[in-house]
Chains A and B, each alone.
Chain A
Amino acid sequence: MRHGKYPFVIGFLAAPVLLYSVFVIAPYAQAFQISMTSWRGFSAPKWVGFDNYRLLAEDNRFWQAIQHHLVLLLALPLITIAIALFFSFMLNVAGKSSGGKRSGVWGSKFYRVVFFFPQVLAVAIIAVLFQTVYRPNESGLINGVLMKIGLDPILFLVNPNIALWSILGVLVWQAVGFYVVLFSAGIASIPGEIYEAAEMDGATRVTLFFRVTLPLLWDTLQVAWVYLGIAAFDAFAIVSVLSVDNGGPDGATTVLGLEIYRNAFTYSKFGYASAMGVALFFLTITFAVFTLRVTKRESVEY
């Protein structure tokens, strides 16, 4: 494999590396630089050092967005993983065991197909779908029912106290199916003998779940937590389409992505928006490193 190696290597790498450098690496590098300027897009950027970050620290909207990320960061993985774990246990282990082979409850295949379905829909489409589901009058799916039986409609997206939770509900609705499939793959790789041995010792299903499934699935859970955490730092498409008046009411659902978009492409405050981008970058990195550190433990050999 010596003959003509370098021309070949260069020929194969040139296009992808060029494309990647121009559209990905260069913008990322520039973002840090632009965040130190007061650039509005017309005249040359003016260097202002850390001024944007100082403004950021006094910006209520920014802190509101951070607060929402923290809520999502805790609630989204916790709820999604809990539901998905329970379902994947039901679908893989909780059924009858025949000849030592574990199986799921009746209808497992059907459920796995249906649950996963929201995963293939675009988030923006889902957001429009739930706009109609949550609509505050009798034309909404939920409130239509509530008003028919004589109850007051719930103002899902209009009431600032529940708007963020309504959005969180949609995120969970979409994510659960994917994690059911992910955990199912993990459970499938646990040898049947372990369950058999545990059952011989008289373990109940609850014990099976907490003593066998959970510890052996730890690595997969860790991956799931990181993914969901990163998703909690995004949430742009859903908030921007679903929430009333872009992150409203009165900023009750805003996220950093939305603030970046608004500051850059509505107010043309490019320097300020980039500073928010840098903040988001450090938040995401900190979260990923922190999670991997905290959840690190001896993986169980089997």
Chain B
Amino acid sequence: MGTQLTTTRTDQPDGPGSRPLPPVEKPRRGKGTDRSGASLLNGVGHLALFFWAVIVVVPIIWVFLASFKNTTEIFSSPWTLPAELRWENWGRAWTKAHVGRYFLNSVLVVSCATFLTMLLGSMAAYVLARYKFWGNRFIYYLFVSGLAFPVFLALVPLFFVVRNLGLLDTYTGLVLVYTAYSLPFTVFFLVAFFRTLPNSVAEAAMIDGASHTRLFFQVMMPMAKPGLISVTIFNIIGQWAQYQLPLVLVSSAKDKWVLTQGIADISVNAGYEADWSGLFAALTIAILPMIIVYAIFQRQIQSGLTAGTGK
């Protein structure tokens, strides 16, 4: 996948001295077919863009509205506004359906695992990128090979490894496994990043008597900040979305379930209990924080994710 992808944003000027030409005043646009063809394309294009935006937004707004309705309203008038704001649906979802619990579990596991991933990943990547030693290449490829394997291949043995270590149904087990499975990409990305950092700063710091450890934490980590932020975003999104690992590793401890597992389970039970509004409230509680976080950080998230995957 040897593609180099720049993260140049569209709104940047395209390089120095790129405009010696006079402004192009649409030369030879006289051909009528061209013009009508272009406007037709534009019309269809605008329509398609608008249509897709509607498709993306409508299900979410619909769920949000339904979270305030009661079951009768959901069935009889799926397309109208709720008669009143029934916050009790949200309360029921948060406490009785344990969405609050699942939510906090997800926050706990993902923040610990992302922190550990970034710490261990950057340590390994730094050493692999900037030190020559016996076995360097071997360890690097060991990490990178993890990118190519489907997780399902490891699922059965992983279950037994975690069980034998006594970590089944524990937060620790989940955090360690999330971290381990996030390392291949983190190391792969950060090795490339640490290689681009200038040597001169490192040498100056060494001459001033900094130890290797100090050099890493006080000089290299701050310099690598843009790369670290990209990978952190990538890991948070990836780990927050995890479904099959918690399904296998904490299945029998319901109080340790993460949000994705919890919501999936609620959707199964909603049918039996006929608590549809509770399901919509639970869904909204799961979706809303992501919308808010995304709305605030959308620039960083978009550029971070494309930088992260455009290897």
Binding site for B on A (CB under 8 A): 1, 4-6, 8-9, 11-13, 15-17, 19-20, 22-28, 30-31, 34, 83, 86-87, 90-92, 94, 97-101, 103-108, 110-125, 127-133, 137-141, 144-145, 148, 173, 176-178, 181-182, 184-189, 191-193, 196, 199-200, 202, 204-206, 219-220, 222-223, 226-227, 230, 233-234, 236-237, 240-241, 256-257, 260-261, 264-265, 270, 273-274, 277-278, 280-281, 284-285, 288, 292
Contacts and interface: CB of A to CB of B under 8 A. Distances in A.
A256 B42 contact: no
A103 to B, nearest CB: 8
Contacts of A27: 154-158, 161
30 contacts: A5-B212, A12-B126, A16-B183, A22-B165, A23-B180, A24-B181, A28-B157, A90-B48, A105-B46, A113-B295, A120-B290, A121-B241, A124-B263, A129-B283, A132-B283, A138-B75, A139-B74, A141-B62, A173-B56, A185-B310, A189-B6, A193-B18, A204-B38, A220-B5, A220-B310, A223-B3, A233-B150, A261-B152, A280-B150, A280-B153
Q: Which of B34, B154, B280, B293 has the most chain A CB within a 10 Å cutoff? A: B154
Contact of B1 (A237, A264, A292): A292
B32 interface: no
Given A28-B149, A118-B56, A125-B286, A241 B9 contact: no
B150 A241 contact: no
Contacts of A178: 305
Given A5-B212, A122-B243, A115 B52 contact: yes
A265 B59 CA distance: 33
B152 A114 contact: no
B261 A124 contact: yes
Contacts of A132: 63, 66, 279-280, 283
B166 interface: no
B183 A87 contact: no
Interface string B140-171: 00110010111011111111011001000000
B206 A1 contact: yes
Interface string B236-262: 010011111001100100000001110
B56 A16 contact: no
Given A1-B202, A23-B181, A223-B3, 10 more contacts: A1-B212, A8-B212, A19-B179, A20-B142, A25-B142, A97-B24, A127-B264, A182-B310, A188-B9, A193-B21
A185 B294 contact: no
A92 B10 contact: yes
Please classify how large the interface on chain B is, using the bins under 10, 10 to 19, 20 to 34, 35 or more. 35 or more
B198 interface: no
Contacts of B202: 1
B79 interface: yes
User: Looking at A86, A129, A189, which has the most chain B CB atoms within 10 Å of its CB?
Assistant: A129
A90 B22 CA distance: 25
A111 B237 CA distance: 21
A99 to B, nearest CB: 5
Given A123-B243, A236-B244, A105 B263 contact: no
Contact of B42 (A8, A94, A186): A94
B23 interface: yes
A1 B56 CA distance: 54
Contact of A86 (B45, B53, B177): B45
B222 interface: no
